[in-house]
Chains A and B, each alone.
Chain A
Amino acid sequence: MDFELTDEQRMIRDTAREFAAREVAPKAAELDKNARWPSEILTKMAELGLFGVAIPQEHGGAGMDTLSYALAMEEISAACASCGVIMSVNNSLFCDPVYKFGNDDQKKRVLAPVASGEKLGCFGLTEPMSGSDAQTMVTGAERTAGGFILNGAKNWITNGPHADWIIVFAVTDRSGPKVKHTAFLVERGTPGFTQNAADHKLGIHAAHSCTVFFENCKVPDANIVGKVGDGFKVAMATLDGGRIGIACQAIGIARAAFEKSVAYAKERKSFGVPIAQHQAIQFMLADMATQIDAARLLAWRAAKMKDQGVRHTAESAMAKLYASEMATRVTHKAIQVHGGYGYSTEFPVERNYRDARITEIYEGTSEIQRIVIAANLLR
């Protein structure tokens, strides 16, 4: 048993940390305030290989491991959670399934430019009336010569307003007791594929999401990912990886709020001393530090298991469940440590708190994570 990072992992963490401090953190408040898509930051993130961290170099990625991806996600998210999720969606929800289930042509044609950050990917599973329960999916794909015709809508599609490619899931077989899904790659500009304006959200303002529509949208056979009917498997395997990314996003947000709280507690005085000298504050900080460490180890364990190629469904669910709920608690306490200032948009913990809240919802709500963990326990 050993809890040390390799030199390479340390290097990517330090590189991402230094980049985040220099290029991302100074702009985070402005991006949030204006809900501005951070194009110029994304370009630089692409140069650092952050859009395909764990994708081999021959397919356009940086060729690192999942743990390195986890480290980079934490660093970027600590500076700006919106940049974190843009990165996470591209890495985990788009590149990962295309790499794992796609064919050579798709890896060359679609994966390489997305993994290198030249193009952007997104992931379409959720629908207006079908989130956690994919059996109720309405979007369907009908066989046609040389491909499928897609009809339906997908919502909360992070990166949707800007993405060049979407991996979208549609029902291709309703004949059995359980519907069967298939995963398709659809390029922006394909006739019948349109995007709504960006959603208005509580947090992660700079990460745009939207509803996308498919109206008699023809997708060629060449764009089917994996086998016809295997879509649900593709989606679930993808989310196993995606949850590691979101766990690390949550950890990054929480760490940022914790660090700000430590700094504030040393500076701010009450009753004649810095508030850091009051046990009430010390205990909040101690609990924050403890919970962040616990979340990080759960996330790193899941990342390591993914790298080893062993099933990590329950471990990813535990990491995501714990880290996301932890981030909400920690950012809540960070506001408490800051008092009235914490409630003001002048201090970043206000943004951290809003940004943290989504992590309990997307890529499987906390309730879904508990179902996954319990199912694994009760097998």
Chain B
Amino acid sequence: MNFEPTETQALIQRAARDFAARVVLPIAAEIDARATIPPAVVRALGELGLMAVNIAPELGGSGAGVVAYALAVQEIARACASIAVTMSVTNMVGEAIARFGTSAQASHYCPALARGDEGLGCFALSEPDAGSDPGAMVTTARRDGAEWVLDGAKQWISGGSAARVLIVWARTGPPETGTKGIACFLVDGNAAGLRVGRPEDKMGLRGSSTVPLEFASCRVPATAMLGSENDGFKIAMMALDGGRIGIGAQAVGIARAALEESVRYAKDRRTFGAPIAEHQAIQWMLADMQTRIDAAHLLSMRAAAMKEAGRPFSREAAIAKLFASEAAIAVCNSAVQIHGGYGYTRDFAAERHLRDARVTTIYEGTSEIQRLVIARSALA
């Protein structure tokens, strides 16, 4: 048992922390207000190796492992949750291509995603009527000679308007094949027949654009299939397991920021003749925030370490994501409470943190889905 980061992990963590403090934090409120991330920031993340932390150096990645990745996401999320999710998803897309793709696919896409200068990596799994239950998806892929023809709609696609490449899940078998007849395709962001819809007007994560996609006779070559024809569901589940580590880390990062701002405010703001930090009512909230953050951090690191060691980690990733996301909301809620009326305004970051945290119990598997995964493991 060792709870200390290795040298490499600490190096990545420091790089992410410094970059977050120097470049991201000063513009975090503006990113939220303008609902856009400057492309230069994404390029800079690429230069630091943070867009491909767990990808082999031969493919342009940092080769630093899953724990380093989770630490980096946490540090970036502490400054800006929108950039953290952008980073997290691109990392995961790169990993999925490196793991399941042919060497041609990997060498074509991974270095570009790692650099961050040609656009983002995106997952296109959810549909308007198929979220937690991917077996209900209706997007189809029809074989036509040397090509596949994609038709259907996808929903909630993070970064979809700035995609270099999307992993698109589509049904190659009839609906009654459920989760079996699903395949994955690598689709370029500028592919003909792919229409990007209007960005969603969201409560939080406003810097990260989330779009609906429409595939209308979108033709991709047969070589665009990721894995084999019936691997889609398996790839989705494995990608989500890994993704949950990132979202757990993102949630911890948001919560840490909320706690740090609360501590600062509590020492500064006075009521009844004393800084509010001296009132037990406030101290209690701070103590509970810290305790939950530490537990969430440890759970998220454990899941990361298990994935890195090549061990099964679905249960642990679900536990980390469930706990961290629900902790983040509770912590951010307390942060707003500690700030009082100021916490309800956009003059203080606590307001943004609460909005940003709220999505973490929803995307990459709702809390309800995490509980199903955990219960299934308990009852196995």
Which positions in A face B, CB cutoff 8 Å?
Answer: 1-6, 9, 67, 258, 262, 265-266, 276, 279, 282-283, 285-287, 289-291, 293-295, 297-298, 300-301, 304-305, 314-315, 318, 321-322, 369-375, 377-378
Contact = CB atoms under 8 A, between A and B. Distances in A.
B305 A3 contact: yes
B interface residue count range (under 10 / 10 to 19 / 20 to 34 / 35 or more): 35 or more
B319 A374 contact: no
B294 A282 contact: no
28 contacts: A2-B305, A5-B1, A262-B379, A285-B375, A286-B370, A289-B319, A293-B316, A293-B319, A294-B298, A295-B295, A297-B295, A297-B299, A297-B302, A298-B291, A298-B298, A301-B3, A314-B290, A318-B291, A321-B287, A321-B291, A370-B287, A371-B287, A373-B286, A373-B291, A377-B259, A377-B290, A378-B266, A378-B286
B372 interface: yes
Interface stretch (B4-12, B161-169, B237-245, B353-361): B4-12
A59 B379 CA distance: 45
A314 B377 CA distance: 32
Given A2-B1, A318-B290, A374-B283, A285 B378 contact: yes
Contacts of B379: 262, 265-266, 276, 282, 285
B302 A3 contact: yes
B319 A373 contact: no
Contacts of B296: 294
A378 B263 contact: yes
A378 B305 CA distance: 31
A192 to B, nearest CB: 39
Nearest to B263: A377
Contact of B378 (A4, A289, A372, A378): A289
B287 A369 contact: yes
Q: Which of A279, A282, A370, A374 has the most C-beta atoms of chain B within 10 angstroms of its own C-beta?
A: A374
B2 interface: yes
A298 B1 contact: no
Interface of B: 1-6, 9, 67, 259, 263, 266-267, 277, 280, 283-284, 286-288, 290-292, 294-296, 298-299, 301-302, 304-306, 309, 316, 319, 322-323, 368, 370-379
Q: Which of B67, B291, B294, B376 has the most C-beta atoms of chain A within 10 angstroms of its own C-beta?
A: B291
A265 B304 CA distance: 31
Contacts of A4: 1, 309
B322 A290 contact: yes
Given A294-B323, A370-B283, A378 B277 contact: yes
Contacts of A373: 286-287, 290-291
Given A265-B379, A282-B379, A294-B295, A1 B305 contact: yes
Given A282-B376, A322-B292, 14 more contacts: A1-B2, A2-B1, A2-B2, A282-B371, A286-B373, A289-B377, A290-B323, A293-B319, A294-B298, A298-B291, A298-B294, A301-B298, A374-B277, A377-B290
Contacts of A266: 379
- Majority secondary structure, B binding face: helix
Nearest to B374: A286
Contacts of A321: 287, 291
Smallest CB-CB A-B distances: 7 pairs: A374-B283, A282-B375, A286-B371, A297-B298, A370-B287, A373-B287, A286-B374
A246 to B, nearest CB: 15
Nearest to A321: B291
A304 B295 contact: no
Contacts of A286: 322, 370-375, 378
B338 to A, nearest CB: 12
Q: Which of B280, B377, B379 has the most C-beta atoms of chain A within 10 angstroms of its own C-beta?
A: B379
A377 B38 CA distance: 34
A282 B372 contact: yes
B3 A289 contact: no
Contacts of A315: 294
A293 B287 contact: no
Contact of B306 (A3, A290, A300, A304): A3
A304 B2 contact: yes
A304 B323 CA distance: 23
A377 B375 contact: no
Contacts of A305: 3
